[in-house]
Amino acid sequence: MEMKLIAPTYFKKFKCIGSECEANCCDHPWKIDVNKIHYEKIKSDFSEKGKEKLFDRVFKKQISNDSLIVTDATFGYIKQCSDGGCEFLNSDKLCGLVIDLGFEFLPDVCTTYPRISNGIEGDKIEANLSLSCPEAARNCILNDEEISWQHIDLIDMGSPRISPQIYLNGQTRNQYNKFADVVKSFAVNIMQDKDTNLKNKLFVLAFLGSKTKPFLYQGMNLDVNVKLQQILNLLGDSKTRKALKHQLSDFNLPTHLSMSILREILAIQGSIRRGGLLNGLFFLAEENFSKIATAEAPVKEISDESMWGFYSDRKERLNKKYGSIIEKRITNYIIHFWLTDWYPSSANILIHVRKCLTYRALVNYLFYCHTDINDMLLCKKSAKNITLIDKVLIEVIYSVTRDLNNSPLAMDIVGKQLDKKNIVELAPIMLLLDF
């Protein structure tokens, strides 16, 4: 049976803006895999043109090891320049490989990026856009329409050789993966509820994680379809969600602990990926706090309490003017998380919600503490400031996504640190919800 290929409506609106991009993907220090077909094609053409030495210097074959199994899709890679960019990126920020040989010589990873996909075995493949690309982030985050799906063709993916993450719908094996599509759809529907604010919607998902944790987890092998459906039906009821709203107001955790957790996460990321985009924004935020706080009173050191006060004050003041717009943008960010990062990548749904809240906390903190927000806090509401809000949010989101995609080890360490602090149950995870 042929699998359906679908994507959100904003997917087909994406067009690479090339040299006009503020963060050109070809100028970023990530590994560029070359699939076998293109590796051999480029090698043959370079040989015909007497460019064997250039090919041997730039193109390398992958070597299998404990962390990499070489496939046709990862057959080779392009060696990066000393500054981390692609060897073929010219001074005009255009691809020299395309200029010299033609678009058909581009490796699959170049023609498909920033397109990504997940799939359900024997059923469908869902395509989306990676938010590590600024233009893709604009298409997704600034989208004002409700998420709806449309059929697309393989040509819309940039290559017929896509490699989606496939989740089994098999009845006898991997029961944990079995509900990936159901839970994803439920989460997206909750996030698109226009009558509930974002914090309460996220609490519904955290509550879902708490209730399913005893029976839906990695390694389980029982059919829990009835149990899960009962909980989803319960949380789909408006009266239940109203009761949860009151329950959320009863949580009274020390807010400075939220800042302590976040700053530790940023420190872990910074130690692994020095000089990254996210790390740069973090230091910018702390420097911004130091300058503003020092203007009012001398600051010997940045404490979690003082930093939380700085962050929450800026958030409150900005949200009075632009809260509905910012919440809509962040809601789109959360929806994208659930559409592209399905829960089987985590130990259970509650830990997946924790991961979602961690990403949101990072984005919120770096956005509200950004230096470009300073003047906005003092000005009247204006269309110009809304444009600036969108610009800063996009910068933060593609920076966070690029750095975390490039260093998955950092998020693994963050997860282990959160486990050590016993932030694995509903109440302590609510600390992250405060952001």
Q: Which of 249, 271, 296 represents a domain boundary (last residue)? A: 249
In a domain, 123, yes or no: no
For residue 4, what are the β-bridge partners? 124
In a domain, 391, yes or no: yes
Residue 326 and residue 241 in one domain = no
Residue 87 and residue 105 in one domain = yes
DSSP 93-108: S-BHHHHHH-GGGS-H
d(CA 196, CA 22): 35
Buried b (16+ CB within 10 A) or exposed e, 274-298: eebbbbebbeebbebbeeebeeeee
User: Could you say which DSSP state residue 381 is in?
Assistant: P
Residue 87 and residue 185 in one domain = no
What pLDDT does residue 132 have? 94
First to last CA, the chain: 45
Which residue, 244, 238, 249, is CA-closest to 210?
Answer: 244
Residue 75 and residue 159 in one domain = yes
pLDDT digits (tens, 9 = 90+) for 247-270: 887 776 667 778 888 888 777 766
Residue 301 and residue 427 in one domain = yes
Residue 297 and residue 204 in one domain = no
What pLDDT does residue 49 have? 87
Do 183 and 349 meet the contact criterion of CB atoms below 8 Å apart? yes
C-alpha distance from residue 159 to each of 24, 73, 155, 190 (Å): 20, 12, 6, 33
What pLDDT does residue 172 have? 40
pLDDT digits (tens, 9 = 90+) for 388-397: 999 999 999 9
pLDDT digits (tens, 9 = 90+) for 81-96: 877 788 888 888 889 8
d(CA 181, CA 175): 13
Residue 239 and residue 272 in one domain = no
In this prediction, residues 383-388 reach a mean pLDDT of 91
What pLDDT does residue 273 have? 57
d(CA 401, CA 381): 29
For residue 408, pLDDT over 90 is answered with no
In a domain, 277, yes or no: yes
For residue 11, pLDDT over 50 is answered with yes
Single-letter amino acid code for the residue at 367: F
pTM: 0.92
In a domain, 1, yes or no: no
pLDDT digits (tens, 9 = 90+) for 148-184: 889 999 888 887 777 777 765 544 457 888 898 899 9
In a domain, 386, yes or no: yes
Q: Percent helix, strand, coil in the chain (nearest 5)?
A: 60, 10, 30
In this prediction, residues 184-205 reach a mean pLDDT of 94
For residue 279, pLDDT over 70 is answered with yes
Residue 222 and residue 160 in one domain = no
What pLDDT does residue 315 have? 94
State the pairing for strand pair 115-120/165-167: parallel
Do 363 and 389 meet the contact criterion of CB atoms below 8 Å apart? no
Q: Which of 192, 219, 249 represents a domain boundary (last residue)? A: 249
In a domain, 91, yes or no: yes
Do 170 and 178 meet the contact criterion of CB atoms below 8 Å apart? yes
In this prediction, residues 282-303 reach a mean pLDDT of 72
Q: Which of 249, 269, 304 represents a domain boundary (last residue)? A: 249
In a domain, 128, yes or no: no
pLDDT digits (tens, 9 = 90+) for 70-126: 888 888 899 888 777 888 888 888 898 889 888 888 888 888 999 998 888 778 889
Q: In sequence order, which residues have a C-beta less than 8 Å from that of residue 10 and are 6 or more positions away?
A: 129, 139, 140, 143, 145
Which residue, 126, 20, 17, 431, is CA-closest to 265?
Answer: 431
Buried b (16+ CB within 10 A) or exposed e, 393-402: bbbbbbbbbb
Residue 283 and residue 427 in one domain = yes
Residue 83 and residue 31 in one domain = yes
For residue 413, pLDDT over 50 is answered with yes
What pLDDT does residue 212 have? 97
- Give phi and psi for 246, each to the nearest 5: -70, -35
What pLDDT does residue 13 have? 92
Residue 161 and residue 179 in one domain = no
User: What's the whole-number average pLDDT of the chain?
Assistant: 86
d(CA 257, CA 174): 37
What pLDDT does residue 275 have? 56
DSSP 132-161: TSHHHHHHHHT--SPP-EEE--GGGGT-S-
Residue 284 and residue 205 in one domain = no
For residue 50, pLDDT over 80 is answered with yes
Tell me, rounded to whole angstroms, the distance of Cα 103 from its chain centroid.
28
What pLDDT does residue 272 have? 55
What pLDDT does residue 146 have? 87
Do 322 and 381 meet the contact criterion of CB atoms below 8 Å apart? yes
Do 268 and 413 meet the contact criterion of CB atoms below 8 Å apart? yes
For residue 335, pLDDT over 90 is answered with yes
Using only C-alpha atoms, the chain has a radius of gyration, in whole angstroms, of 23
> What's the structural domain count of the chain?
3
In a domain, 185, yes or no: yes
d(CA 288, CA 282): 10
Helix (H/G/I), strand (E/B), else coil: 52: helix
Parent domain of 208:
175-249
Bigger pLDDT: 229 or 280?
229
Bigger pLDDT: 142 or 262?
142
Tokens encoding 31: 């590994």
pLDDT digits (tens, 9 = 90+) for 336-361: 999 999 999 899 999 999 999 999 99
For residue 95, what are the β-bridge partners? 89
In this prediction, residues 305-326 reach a mean pLDDT of 92
For residue 271, pLDDT over 70 is answered with no
For residue 422, what are the β-bridge partners? none
The burial class, CB within 10 Å (0-12 / 13-18 / 19+), for 258 is buried
